[in-house]
Structure 1
């Protein structure tokens, strides 16, 4: 397909680095996702209401004239510090709301590319390269959402996030591209293309030094008869992720406020709270403060495995170990995050038939050489005919 030059040199180099040996690029163009969607507008409206209420509360909190009883207390800088620390989580929530309103357009942005084997969406997030790819059956039965000016969206995957408040649908694919009908024809050609031949069968991997005899026994007993391990690595979790980071900040503020109250003389606090109650809240704050280190110590006992039949995540558990498996056919929809040092994460989207078609994600995070690990998984998928149900958890 003859196409005009739509990419900068930096974008072209970014695509060239993601192509496999012998893979041919058929088309590439930058995505133009919508900035404002129904979901983002709802978040922005709520964020504006939240910030308005927060500003009103801060004005009455700091600018209100204190009564004679509180005048002496206001002179103490400790009370002002405690008030500021109390408001920090609400200010952080306001920032997070505006950040989430732009997140949907960010994940759909990047460079769209079609090769003779697959479809790619490549974008940068700071220094990390995030590559989403679709291949095989994922490229059949595509849907097009047209826009004005011969532009449209090509839907390559739909993810459903179900909760008590309802179902949110996230549409993945190529957003805001020109001539989508012509691109669909190229995608169908890629779906019919034969996959690359599998590489030579890798040797049996060595067990990590952190794996003791009990862990090896638990893993080997959970393999199917005749199943062999082709790759194994311990989990290398980050110290801070969205969950542990939030708990750390919450614990820091909670602990500071709790122990700050203990330093204030009892006669300066209206409605004197027993010290042991404040100490209990302080201990809870310390537990939240140490949650990143507790989570990392536990996660380091988990292992990722690639066998000749499936992908496995081993969890030691608090009482009994368990495994979470994903079949290789789910590699038709993956998202690869690559850091400058070569490490990264692999997210595999699969559908749970027992849950009414809900989409879930199987993640291999913080893998030292994630690019070669992904290539090995694709090679094992090519040589594998197994149809183990995705997302099956067994003890």
Structure 2
């Protein structure tokens, strides 16, 4: 089993039921540039540049002294600069989130611990592991998808979120364990 930081290991231990044995646990491979953070980062470059340029122009730089309340108009651009800084720092947030996430397979279920300011725990009993599949890279790393949530946003556009064990080192091993857990539980449901 891989090293899990103490704060995550404490969360895992607190979540386990009596006599529930951990068969496998891992953390995602931390990466600065994930698919979502790349898009946000790239969009953040022109966004922030334009917001800074707008603030510079609105401040009347090079046109003399500040006079009256209108001279503070440039401050309306500050929220846009802050949003841009947030977009530019999205790779750091993706990395930080990965260092606070853990995946666990026990003899009874699969558990996802997603950290941030708090911690979100998703528990998947064997009956929810029937449609598990894997997206794997050449080096064996990849994602084991447990479920895909789909919905329409307020504009009517189709959105989806994949849930499972993402960016793990040995995707096939995790998939095999999850499928075995699902198969072992199948006769009990009959």
TM-score (norm 2): 0.73
Q: Match of 2:182? A: 381
CA gap of 1:373–1:383, structure 2 versus 1, over 3 A, is same
Alpha-carbon distance between aligned partners in 1 of 2:163 and 2:82, rounded to the nearest angstrom: 35
Q: Aligned pair 1:283/2:82, yes or no?
A: yes
- Indicate the SS of the match to 2:132: strand
For structure 2, which runs of at least 5 residues remain unmatched after alignment? 64-69, 150-159
- Indicate the SS of the match to 1:274: helix
Q: Match of 2:163? A: 362
2:60 to 266, 274, 277: 266
How do 1:1-395 and structure 2 match up within 5 A?
205=1, 208=3, 210-212=4-6, 214-264=7-57, 266=60, 274-319=73-118, 321-349=119-147, 362-384=163-185
CA RMSD of aligned residues (A): 3.3
- Indicate the SS of the match to 2:138: coil
Q: Deviations over 1:229-275 (max 9, x none)?
A: 00000122543445323322332111110222344482899x98723
Alpha-carbon distance between aligned partners in 2 of 1:375 and 1:333, rounded to the nearest angstrom: 12
Does the 8 Å contact 1:309/1:386 carry over to 2?
no
- Indicate the SS of the match to 2:53: helix
Paired residues, what number? 172
- Indicate the SS of the match to 1:217: helix
CA gap of 1:273–1:247, structure 2 versus 1, over 3 A, is farther
- Indicate the SS of the match to 2:167: strand
Query: Which protein shows a greater Rg?
Result: 1
- Of 250-259 and 302-311, deviating more is 250-259
- Indicate the SS of the match to 2:129: helix
Q: Match of 2:67? A: none
CA gap of 1:381–1:253, structure 2 versus 1, over 3 A, is same
Name the structure, 1 or 2, with higher relative contact order (CA <8 Å, separation 6+): 2
Does the 8 Å contact 1:315/1:322 carry over to 2?
yes
TM-score (norm 1): 0.38
CA gap of 1:335–1:380, structure 2 versus 1, over 3 A, is closer
Q: How many Å apart are 1:350 and its aligned residue? A: 7.7
Q: How many Å apart are 1:346 and its aligned residue? A: 1.2
